[in-house]
Amino acid sequence: MRQPLIAGNWKMNGTRSGAESLIEGVLNGAKGLVKTEVAVCPPFPFLAIGERLLGGSPVRLGAQNVCTEAGGAYTGEVSAAMLGEFGCHYVICGHSERREYYGETDEIVAKKLAIVIENGMRPILCVGETLEQREQGETEAVIARQIDAIIDQNGIASFASLEIAYEPVWAIGTGKTATPEQAQEVHNFIRRRIDGHDQAIGAKVRILYGGSMKPGNAGELLAQADIDGGLIGGASLAAEDFLAICQAG
């Protein structure tokens, strides 16, 4: 019922020519995929390349961040309207690297989600606990706080217009992956949290897993009942690996 989504988060990697060949590689390889939706999220300067190459294809384009404000004197920022104009369908919001290095709070993340939705795109809301929080037994409390902040600020209806990515911070870029059981437990917790407010939205919302997902572990993660796809960092930088994950979906 929920179509799997595999989205590549390139982070701040790549060159202009490299972006072109990576997008072309993904596009060619994704042609035969019917079951899985595929998206790539390159850095801002490469979005125009994505728009040109992916326009009219089933592979979606996404951005990695957005400004909370609609426009004006915000030097260095990029607005949701601009992303929409360059063909973005998805915008990653609240990635742990942004929360950690750029001070993004739950309140800021909620504002970003709202402006992305207002501009007709779909946010990919990232949530996840640190290693310390997991070891202290705080995983569910942290995830609940991150999800509830959005429900309080934007309303439960906003979850009909977004995707969620559960990304345990300790698994991002570390080579350590949550076991399928660990991931499923948190995904199910997230779905039940949303279900508690609106069962129809809870049943429909896609919850992606992110954190060192690669061709070798994607199959068993994606086989879990509440894992509806993946947000892929490192392994999205090589078309072959990324497409192998897409095939596992």
Residue 167 binding ligand PEP, by CB under 6 A? yes
User: Per this entry, what is the length of the chain?
Assistant: 249
Tokens standing for residue 73: 């004197």
Q: Nearest distance from residue 161's CB to ligand PEP, in Å?
A: 21
Residues 126-155: x/- map of binding to ligand PEP (CB under 6 A)? Answer: ------------------------------
Which of 95, 104, 129, 187 is the catalytic position?
Answer: 95
Question: What is the C-alpha separation between 75 and 234, in angstroms, rounded?
Answer: 29
From the list 89, 129, 167, 187, the catalytic residue is 167
- Quickly count: other Cβ atoms within 10 Å of residue 78's Cβ: 17
Q: Closest distance between ligand PEP and the C-beta of residue 72, in Å?
A: 30
Q: How far apart are CA 195 and CA 200, in angstroms?
A: 7
Q: Where are the beta strands (DSSP E) in the chain?
A: 5-9, 37-41, 60-63, 88-93, 122-127, 163-166, 207-209, 229-232
Q: Is 95 a catalytic residue?
A: yes
Q: Which window, 28-36, 72-80, 140-148, 211-219, contacts ligand PEP (CB under 6 A)?
A: 211-219
For residue 56, say whether it is annotated as part of any ligand binding site.
no
Residues 6+ apart with CB under 8 A from 135: none
Active site residue 107: no
Residue 23 makes contact with ligand PEP by CB under 6 A: no
Q: What does the block give as tokens for 143? A: 């995830």
Q: Which helix (H) or strand (E) holds 152?
A: helix 139-154
Specify the residue, 65 or 212, whose C-beta has the smaller distance to ligand PEP: 212
Q: Which residues contact ligand PEP (rule: CB under 6 A)?
A: 9, 167, 172-173, 210-213, 231-235
Binding site, by residue number, is: 9-11, 173, 212, 233-234
Residues carrying an active site annotation:
95, 167
